[in-house]
A and B are shown apart, each in its own frame.
Chain A
Amino acid sequence: MDLALTPEQEMLKTAVRRFVQQEYPKDTLLQMAATGQSCPSEPWSKLAATGWLGIAIPQEYGGEGGSLTDAGVLFEELGRGPVPGPLVSSALLGGFTVLAGGTEEQKQEWLPTLAKGERSLVLAVTEADYGWDAMDVGLVGTKDGEGFRLNGAKSYVFDGVSATHFLCAARAENNGPVGLFFVPANAAGVTVRSLAGFAWNLSEVKLDNVAVGKADLLGQSFDAGWEAFQGAVARTIPVLAAYQVGGCQAVYDMSVEYSRTRIQFSMPIGRFQHVQSHVINLVNQLDAARWTAYEALWKLDTERPATDAIHMAKSVGSEAYYEACNHAHEVHAGVGSMTEYGLTLHTTASRTLYHYLGDPRYHRRLLADALGL
């Protein structure tokens, strides 16, 4: 038993933290949020140059071939930012999906470019009737000669705006299986619209008679798509949970610091037990998320049965990040609501990540199944 990170993971953690502080300081993140540019070329090219995007992609496909726990360490630090861009959505989920279901040719084509950050491949799965099961996919790949046509819309696509390509879920005709099509974001008939409001990098992707070929199908078959996606989601979720842990850690650090420096009634507000309670609830959320995430990562890395741990990690991690931000707002009061302070970057992220890849209630139901109830 050893719950410590390895020396290599500690080094990685330190290096990523320094990188995020330097390249994604608060002002940069606020600027990105204000302009809706979640992936401007300047910090992104530097992030891509580190090679970290390929951390969990095998070396034979141009990645670093690290463990999922390594990826967890990296993404926890990115989550501290929170660094936006096609990270979880593309570098992890896109990559894992291709790895699980792609033909050898597709893997050779896609994985090295994802590892280098040259392209981004974002899953476009959910629709207006929002849900993460195969039955929630209504869009049909209609046969058209040798190829197919895609008509319809994918709603609430996370990181849709920063995608160069989509893996678009579409059903074979006659209520057939759900496959995944590679669709360039700039293909004829594709329009991407950012969703304004409290959402974090969500968009709608409209597909108007978009032409795709059989070669654009992941694994060149409708049958390959959904299973590959499910397998990839299972591996992505605990790393996403680690990203949420990083977010919790950031708002916790902010709140402890603020409790020491903010003076009211002639003393630091952290002297008041009601304020202390908010911070304590916050750290309990943080640690619950941390240990459920890392245990799930460990189970996957050691090839133990992990289904229950994965659903628990997403459920606990999503609730933790959401609640952690709520507690942080209680500590910070008015100051926390000022955009320039930076807390709202996390609050906004926490809401979207709450339901991305399935919300806590959804994963609790899957956990009940996994436990044999």
Chain B
Amino acid sequence: MDFEPTYTGEQEKFRLEVRAWLAENLPSGIVHPADPIDLTTEQYELRRDLGRRLGEKGWLWPTAPVEYGGGGLSLDYSVIIEEEIDNVGMTLPPYYDSGGKLGGASILVWGSEEQKQFFLKLIFRGEVRTWQLLSEPEAGSDLANVKTTAIRDGDDYVINGQKVFVGSGLGCDYMWTITVTDTEAKRHENLGWFMIKADLPGITIQPMDLLISGGESGAGSGVKNTVFFDNVRVPAFNLIGGENQGWKVATTHLELEHGTGGRISRNWLVDRMFEYCQTTQRRGQPMSKDPEVRDRLVDIYIEAEITRLFNLRNYWMRHSGANITYEGPQASYFRKQSGLRQATAILDILGPAAMTYDPELGAGEGHVEAYMRSALIALHPGGTTDIQKVIMARRIGIGREVKEKAGALA
């Protein structure tokens, strides 16, 4: 067993190359607002600019195939890039790009060659930012119950309907969405996925007023929206996986969204809490010397460590081609529940200082307050914790002889 990549001299040279490149190309003036809702257009453009530059080098999507604009790199090289990006406080991609991540992976499996050439190059080179649009007022946990329709009309499909809890602030270039392509067909045999250009006539984006927009995507999204489609004409070329084949495509999309991708980034919350408690005095000593505070800090640490190990395992399983069954939804379920338990521990430790971003009386420059909100809201995106348990049960085969298989990944 080896829990860390063992790097060859060649790879260590590559790490230095990445580090030097980032020193040269990381835009100056990047700041990290505690609540991503405060991300400005200027800050977003700095991140997009970094994304495009990474994309040119094939480092934005390091393991994606070269012929579609990816880096074609092995797992170890990809880890090096992710670690170096993590060290400068950024993520891959450096902005919210749920549709790029999940739509890209789905197109890789289900798209035609022409579609791969067209869409994947845009995504993998960082030329576009894509939102995923799944939920609807009548389709939350029951995704197959979507009502948005895409009806064939000549060379186009005409899309009508409404998506909710989607996207981020500051707009997107493409939308990756699931619709009904046959209103008469049976459930699961009536769906189709589209990559839709975001500036088509008939698309309206309306921000929602939420407690916070939590998300599974590391970069955070800041804002969620309602998106209305009013007779939006989309070329048939943009239908991925074929008419009424959408549920098949959804298995790939959902497999990744349910946590199978894995992740290796560090947990900044633990560092932040440790530092705060070591440097803040209470009753004449650092908070970290209080036995109860210590106990709760260790609780947070262990929760974060188990989450890290589940993510690391999934990352390895995905990239080594190991047989994945229940591990994706397990990591998602654990991360979410664990995040909420950590929030409780933070409340125990900090009390009211955890609940305000007041510059004088709030803890952690607003990051802690934002975490207290997002830990709760993060329970449901990408499938509620109850849905993750339902999927786990099917994959494990609890109460059934035939186990459900995981969705196909490229």
Interface residues of A (CB under 8 A from B): 1-5, 69, 256, 259-260, 267-273, 275-277, 279-280, 283-284, 287-288, 291-292, 294-295, 297-299, 312, 315-316, 361, 364-365, 367-368, 371, 373
> In B284-299, which residues have CB < 8 Å from any A CB?
288-289, 291, 294-295, 297-299
- Contact A292 B306, beta carbon cutoff 8 Å: yes
Report which residue of B278, B289, B291, B400 has the largest number of chain A beta carbons within 10 angstroms of its beta carbon: B400
Instruction: Give complex CA distance A292, B305 in Å.
Output: 8
- Contact B398 A69, beta carbon cutoff 8 Å: no
Instruction: Give complex CA distance A176, B353 in Å.
Output: 47
Task: Show 26 A/B contacts (Cβ-Cβ < 8 Å), sorted by A.
Answer: A1-B3, A1-B312, A1-B316, A259-B398, A260-B400, A260-B401, A270-B400, A271-B399, A273-B390, A275-B399, A276-B393, A280-B393, A280-B398, A283-B326, A283-B392, A283-B396, A288-B309, A291-B309, A295-B3, A298-B3, A316-B306, A364-B295, A365-B294, A368-B298, A371-B298, A373-B289
Chain A residues within an 8 Å CB radius of B289: 373
Chain B residues within an 8 Å CB radius of A269: 399
Which of B2, B297, B313 has a CB less than 8 Å from the CB of A373?
B297
- Contact A367 B1, beta carbon cutoff 8 Å: no
- Contact A284 B302, beta carbon cutoff 8 Å: no
Instruction: Give complex CA distance A287, B312 in Å.
Output: 12
Q: Told that A284-B333, A364-B299 touch, could you supply 19 new A-B pairs with CB distance under 8 A?
A: A1-B76, A3-B3, A4-B320, A5-B1, A259-B398, A260-B399, A270-B400, A271-B399, A273-B390, A279-B393, A283-B396, A287-B310, A288-B309, A291-B310, A292-B305, A312-B305, A368-B297, A371-B298, A373-B274
Instruction: Give complex CA distance A361, B291 in Å.
Output: 12
Q: Tell me the smallest distance from the CB of A249 to a CB of chain B, in Å.
A: 13
Q: Tell me the smallest distance from the CB of B317 to a CB of chain A, in Å.
A: 8
Instruction: Give complex CA distance A268, B401 in Å.
Output: 10
Which of B278, B316, B399 has a CB less than 8 Å from the CB of A268?
B399
- Contact B398 A3, beta carbon cutoff 8 Å: no
Check if B340 is an interface residue, CB within 8 A of chain A. no
Check if B322 is an interface residue, CB within 8 A of chain A. yes
Chain A residues within an 8 Å CB radius of B390: 273, 276
Instruction: Give complex CA distance A256, B394 in Å.
Output: 11
Chain A residues within an 8 Å CB radius of B393: 270, 273, 276, 279-280
Check if B389 is an interface residue, CB within 8 A of chain A. yes
Q: Tell me the smallest distance from the CB of A48 to a CB of chain B, in Å.
A: 28
Chain A residues within an 8 Å CB radius of B26: none
- Contact A279 B396, beta carbon cutoff 8 Å: yes
> In B235-284, which residues have CB < 8 Å from any A CB?
274, 277-278
Chain A residues within an 8 Å CB radius of B44: none
Smallest Cβ-Cβ distance to B291: which chain A residue: A365
- Contact B76 A373, beta carbon cutoff 8 Å: no
Given contacts A283-B326, A368-B298, A373-B288, contact A268 B3 (CB under 8 A): no
Given contacts A259-B398, A298-B3, A368-B294, contact A2 B309 (CB under 8 A): no
Which of A276, A299, A371 has a CB less than 8 Å from the CB of B398?
A276
- Contact A276 B399, beta carbon cutoff 8 Å: yes
Chain A residues within an 8 Å CB radius of B398: 256, 259-260, 270, 275-276, 279-280
Query: 8 closest Cβ contacts across the A-B interface?
Result: A270-B399, A291-B309, A270-B398, A276-B393, A268-B399, A368-B294, A271-B399, A1-B5
Chain A residues within an 8 Å CB radius of B309: 288, 291-292, 295
Given contacts A1-B316, A367-B301, contact A256 B310 (CB under 8 A): no
**What is the size category of the interface that chain B forms with chain A?**
35 or more
Chain B residues within an 8 Å CB radius of A272: 399
Given contacts A279-B393, A279-B398, A295-B3, contact A3 B313 (CB under 8 A): yes
Check if B357 is an interface residue, CB within 8 A of chain A. no
Q: Tell me the smallest distance from the CB of B330 to a CB of chain A, in Å.
A: 6
Given contacts A3-B1, A316-B306, contact A256 B397 (CB under 8 A): yes
Q: Tell me the smallest distance from the CB of A111 to a CB of chain B, in Å.
A: 26
Chain A residues within an 8 Å CB radius of B5: 1
Check if B113 is an interface residue, CB within 8 A of chain A. no
Smallest Cβ-Cβ distance to B6: which chain A residue: A1
Instruction: Give complex CA distance A256, B396 in Å.
Output: 8
Smallest Cβ-Cβ distance to A369: which chain B residue: B294
Report which residue of A3, A271, A279, A292 has the largest number of chain B beta carbons within 10 angstroms of its beta carbon: A3
Chain B residues within an 8 Å CB radius of A260: 397-401
Instruction: Give complex CA distance A182, B312 in Å.
Output: 44
Check if B79 is an interface residue, CB within 8 A of chain A. yes
Chain B residues within an 8 Å CB radius of A299: 3
> In B375-410, which residues have CB < 8 Å from any A CB?
389-390, 392-393, 396-401
Q: Tell me the smallest distance from the CB of A110 to a CB of chain B, in Å.
A: 30
Instruction: Give complex CA distance A1, B334 in Å.
Output: 23
Smallest Cβ-Cβ distance to A319: which chain B residue: B302
Instruction: Give complex CA distance A313, B298 in Å.
Output: 13
Instruction: Give complex CA distance A5, B2 in Å.
Output: 9
Chain B residues within an 8 Å CB radius of A276: 389-390, 392-393, 398-399
Check if B24 is an interface residue, CB within 8 A of chain A. no
Q: Tell me the smallest distance from the CB of B268 to a CB of chain A, in Å.
A: 16
Chain B residues within an 8 Å CB radius of A361: 295
- Contact B274 A371, beta carbon cutoff 8 Å: yes
- Contact B4 A1, beta carbon cutoff 8 Å: yes
- Contact A277 B294, beta carbon cutoff 8 Å: no
0/1 string, B319-344, CB within 8 A of A gives 1 = 01010001000100110000000000
Instruction: Give complex CA distance A368, B334 in Å.
Output: 23
Instruction: Give complex CA distance A179, B291 in Å.
Output: 30
Instruction: Give complex CA distance A256, B390 in Å.
Output: 15
Q: Tell me the smallest distance from the CB of B291 to a CB of chain A, in Å.
A: 8
Chain A residues within an 8 Å CB radius of B396: 256, 279-280, 283
Instruction: Give complex CA distance A298, B320 in Å.
Output: 19
Chain B residues within an 8 Å CB radius of A275: 398-399
Chain B residues within an 8 Å CB radius of A297: 1
Smallest Cβ-Cβ distance to B329: which chain A residue: A280
- Contact A4 B1, beta carbon cutoff 8 Å: yes
- Contact B322 A291, beta carbon cutoff 8 Å: no
